[in-house]
A = this chain, B = another copy of it.
Amino acid sequence: MNKIVESIRQAILDSGLKSGQTVSFHHHLRNGDHVLNMVMDEIAALGIGDLTLNASSLFNVHRPLKEHIRNGVVTRIITDYMAAELGSFISAGNMKAPVQFRTHGGRPADIENGTTPIDVAFVAAPASDCMGNCTGKIGKSACGSMGYAMPDAKNARFTVVITDELRPYPLTCRSIPETDVDEVVVVDSIGDPAGIVSGTTKITRDPIGLAMAQTAVDVIKASGLLKEGFSFQTGAGGASLAAAKYLKDVMLKEKIRGSFGLGGITGYMVDMLREGCFESLMDVQCFDLKAVESIRDDPRHSEISATHYASPGAKSAVVDSLDVVILGATEIDTDFNVNVHTDSDGRIMGGSGGHSDTAAGAKLAMIVAPLSRARLPIITDRVTCISTPGSTIDVLVTQKGVAVNPKDRVLALRLKDAGVKVMDIEELKAAAERISGVPMKPAIGERVVADVIYRDGTVIDRIREVVE
């Protein structure tokens, strides 16, 4: 007895997928993913259409979706993140129904509570046995954690595992158990390893980025949170990684033993684990090869589901216990609202991911961003799109100074006492405008192309089409 079927086509037929239903995908193979395109091409060839596509993130590699949208194969998209190529296509008004942007925590909550039911989940698995016990930790296309795929596999009516490495039953290092899997398809390649994880993610060399990273660490020190049991999340951007590096130096020098690092995990967080800065890593997604090796070999490096990472529907999630998160922004306004969905022209080129989830959970949610980017100021009166509400952001770090949300009076005093250059956000905005000028408002049309759905299920903003 086994669950292997000979083709993706056969699995789609066996699933009973019909026009008007919902298919889901996860994004651990990132810009190297072959699976979403292979599956959608087969679905299109079978004449199934009017589908809702629920994907935890969409990358530029998924550009063939444009054709499937034009042809009516996909008529609704639910996702937490959309890279620029598909984003521009959506912003140009090429899809009738608005994209539903959710968050990495809100997505599993909505899947589990029945708001966004999934008919057929397609799980790209770097290794699987013949019954569907599968993992991302091993295999030629290893991606490490498969945290975002877990709620899909668990809750879909029909779950198909697609793998390029079949292992003997039972695969014990499973991310997803056979109990959730209906069929297994073995293909030649589920993805391009070069696109799945970076060889190494690199610290910025840009002096502005390094200055911001140093200030970010000064803020963390001054906040009073950097002590025994400290927990931390940072991104994979150059300045975020530099902050992790500086933070590690401080923790080692001051012999501070933290509890956990969280998030999408990079080799820099692995270094912090190995050198004793953390007791453990809680990992929903691996960004580089060092993280993949670590989650495979080190039991302190723990794979967590998207639910466990950030779901507001869970009885608790790790974000609820997080001390500090460093986040980016394409824009931040004087109320500390942050935009990570669009560029300043209003064109979709991102999404919340775990941005608003970690901001809501962390004791200190810090935005690190330069005053201007591509000659456009980052700080505005009002962001083009609210991705993360200002009420959940505590501090903005720029190369010229730090702005503290007025709600955090004690923090502002602490930072000043520690010699951090604290400025009013209006002053920082003025400084940015002295460099870059006041930008033109983007040419935005009336038509809504995307709804931004906050982690609690409410629509916190709508993204409108960009008029050329």
Bound-state CA distance A173–B280 (Å) is: 10
What 1/0 mask marks residues of chain A from 137 to 173 whose CB sits below 8 Å from any chain B CB? 0000000000000000000000100000000111011
A321-B259 contact in complex given A179-B315, A315-B181, C-beta closer than 8 Å: no
Chain B positions within 8 Å of A304 at CB level: 177
Q: Please indicate the chain B residues that have their CB under 8 angstroms from the CB of A229 in the complex.
A: 168
Question: Among B173, B299, B300, B321, which residue has its beta carbon within 8 angstroms of that of A1?
Answer: B321
Copies held by the complex:
2
Once the chains bind, are A316 and B3 in contact (CB under 8 Å)? yes
- How big is chain A's contact interface, by range? 35 or more
Q: Which of B169, B307, B321 contacts A170 (CB 8 A)?
A: B321
- Given the known inter-chain contacts A168-B259, A168-B279, A170-B302, please indicate yes or no for A179 contacting B311, CB distance below 8 A: yes
Contact A299 B173 (CB under 8 A): yes
Q: Given known contacts A169-B259, A299-B172, is B315 in contact with A1 (CB within 8 Å)?
A: no
How many angstroms between the C-alpha atoms of A10 and B124 in the bound complex?
A: 45
Interface of chain A, helix or strand or loop or mixed? Answer: loop
**Chain B residues closer than 8 Å to A177, beta-carbon distance:** 304-305, 308
- Complex Cα distance A354/B452, Å? 48
Contacting B at CB under 8 A, from A418-446, are none
List the B side residues contacting A98 at CB < 8 Å. Answer: none
**Interfacial chain B residues near A174, Cβ < 8 Å:** 302
Knowing that A159-B315, A181-B315 touch, tell me 12 more A-B residue pairs with CB under 8 angstroms. A168-B279, A169-B321, A170-B259, A170-B260, A170-B302, A170-B321, A172-B280, A172-B282, A178-B308, A178-B316, A179-B314, A179-B315
4 nearest CB pairs, A to B: A179-B314, A172-B302, A172-B280, A178-B316
- Can you give 27 contacting A-B residue pairs, CB < 8 Å? A131-B316, A131-B321, A132-B315, A168-B229, A168-B259, A168-B279, A169-B321, A170-B280, A170-B282, A170-B302, A170-B321, A172-B282, A172-B299, A173-B299, A174-B302, A178-B314, A178-B317, A178-B318, A179-B308, A179-B311, A179-B314, A179-B315, A179-B316, A180-B315, A181-B316, A182-B315, A299-B299
